[in-house]
Amino acid sequence: MPVARLKPTDLITIGEVARRTGLSVSAIRFYEEQGLVEPLRTGGNQRRFLRSDIRRLSFILIAQRLGLSLAEIASALASLPHGRTPTARDWEAISAAIRARLDAQIADLVRTRDRLDGCIGCGCLSLSHCAIWNPQDALGEEGPGARKLLA
């Protein structure tokens, strides 16, 4: 089977990629530095991207939007064959993990909100018996570990 040759028109400059993805040029360069994309180079050392890179970058934006860090996205992409942009099947696997994460975040926020509501109602602050001031259970974790609240 003949391998399709790269027509010059298939190669996209970084500015064009930026325009099409909404990313800044510097962000794209940064993503390359992080190993998230690997553009080709011209003889003059300028980056040239493939169409699939745009999808790849869009995927990164979405995954980021869903709460993954660049490091996590990188490792998700790294598990795919070199240079491949996720297919539907890949996406299914990745998204299942993301889904679990979203569920947890939502549950956590809802729990917090309920607690807050209770607190507004009870008008405490007199402390020592307020759910939000005195959370026994793990209130999720987004900082450096849970903190004891209240002296």
Partner DNA sequence: TTGCGATCTCAACCTAACTTGAGGTCAAGC
Partner DNA sequence: GCTTGACCTCAAGTTAGGTTGAGATCGCAA
Q: Which of 66, 130, 58, 71 is nearest to 102 (CA)?
A: 66
Nearer to DNA, 25 or 124 (CB): 25
**Binds 81, which of DNA, its own copies, none (CB < 5 to 8 A, cut-off by type)?**
none
Each residue 28-67 as x (binds its own copies by CB under 8 A) or -, in order, gives: -----------------------x--xx--x--xx-xxx-
**Binds 80, which of its own copies, DNA, none (CB < 5 to 8 A, cut-off by type)?**
none
Alpha-helix runs per DSSP H in 66-133: 70-78, 88-122
**Which range of residues in 13-21, 91-99, 105-113, 116-124 is near DNA by CB under 7 A?**
13-21
CB burial of residue 28 (10 Å; 0-12, 13-18, 19+) = buried
User: What is the rounded CA–CA span in Å between residue 145 and residue 63?
Assistant: 25
Contact (Cβ atoms closer than 8 angstroms) between residue 14 and residue 47: yes
C-alpha distances in Å from residue 147, one per residue of 105, 113, 116, 129, 134: 19, 19, 18, 17, 10
> Which of 6, 10, 22, 42 forms a contact with DNA (CB under 7 A)?
42
> Which of 24, 52, 75, 79 forms a contact with DNA (CB under 7 A)?
24
**Which range of residues in 24-32, 51-59, 94-102, 116-124 is near DNA by CB under 7 A?**
24-32
Query: CB count, 10 Å around CB of 114?
Result: 12
Give the residues lining the site for its own copies (CB under 8 A).
20-23, 51, 54-55, 58, 61-62, 64-66, 86-88, 91-92, 95-96, 98-99, 102-103, 105-106, 109-110, 112-113, 116-117, 119-120, 123-127, 132-133, 139, 143, 147-151
